[in-house]
Structure 1
Amino acid sequence: MKRCMFVDDSSVIRKVAKRILNGPDMLVIEADNGQDALDMCAADMPDIIVVDGALPDMSAEDFIRRVRALPGHVRPQIAVSLVEVDIGAIMRAKRAGAQGYLLKPFNRPQLLERFRQFDLAA
């Protein structure tokens, strides 16, 4: 079973993602800020991380770099979640170690298709 972490200060975004993705092949875990997510990653690294482009406590790029610096054998797929297409933010996230991005708000077909494109879902 794959583990996916959604890091977003919006409980609505986390709840929608969990409803769409939670199932027999994927477990969705949640964090509402970067530090809590980093603590969770240090304890048990998820396979997939979707991080809000506007975290309340750190930049998405800093979060991604800090995840990449954690020791361990799991190297998660990381996507940054944005409210609009921002080429600068996408490029900064990719330079920090993200594989891609997704736009929010999202619905079931959009989220599932984006996960397929990132090769994040089974």
Structure 2
Amino acid sequence: MRTCLVVDDSTVIRKIARRILEEMDFEITEAEDGEKALEVCKCGLPDAVLLDWNMPVMDGFEFLGNLRRLPGGDQPKVVFCTTENGIDHIARGLDAGANEYIMKPFDKDIVAAKFREVGLIEVTVPV
């Protein structure tokens, strides 16, 4: 089963993301900040990371830099999740190593589309 680490300081966002991703057949691990997420990754890298940008302790940008420096840390697909819609903010995240981004609030269709774009779920073609 594919794995996804959901990193967000909001328990509500983590709960919503968990529900959506479990319906997409992902096994979910949660962390409420980048520091805890990094510890999870040191124990075993997930296939995907749904990453909040603005968090206490260690923000998403700092976490992403640390993740990408871990052995194998270039492998997880990282989709950052943000309320910031400035092109500079988005470009900074993508330049730091994020594979895609999602604007909050999000729903299942948005998550599925972005996960498809980065190759985490298969594209289904209607017959």
Question: TM-score, structure 1 length as denominator?
Answer: 0.90
Superposition RMSD in Å: 1.8
Q: Distance in 2 between matches of 1:62 and 1:74?
A: 15
Q: How does 1:1-122 map to 2 (within 5 A)?
A: 1-23=1-23, 25-72=25-72, 75-122=75-122
Q: Distance in 1 between matches of 2:34 and 2:84?
A: 21
Flag structure 1 segments of 5+ consecutive residues without an equivalent.
none
Moved more, 100-109 or 71-80: 71-80
Maintained 8 Å contact 2:67/2:73: no
Q: Distance in 2 between matches of 1:39 and 1:118?
A: 24
The structural deviation recorded for 1:25 is 3.3
Question: TM-score, structure 2 length as denominator?
Answer: 0.86
Q: Distance in 1 between matches of 2:72 and 2:55?
A: 24
Q: Distance in 1 between matches of 2:24 and 2:102?
A: 23
Instruction: Say which one has the larger Rg.
Output: 2
Distance verdict in 2 for CA 1:88–1:24, change over 3 Å: closer
Q: Distance in 1 between matches of 2:41 and 2:7?
A: 11
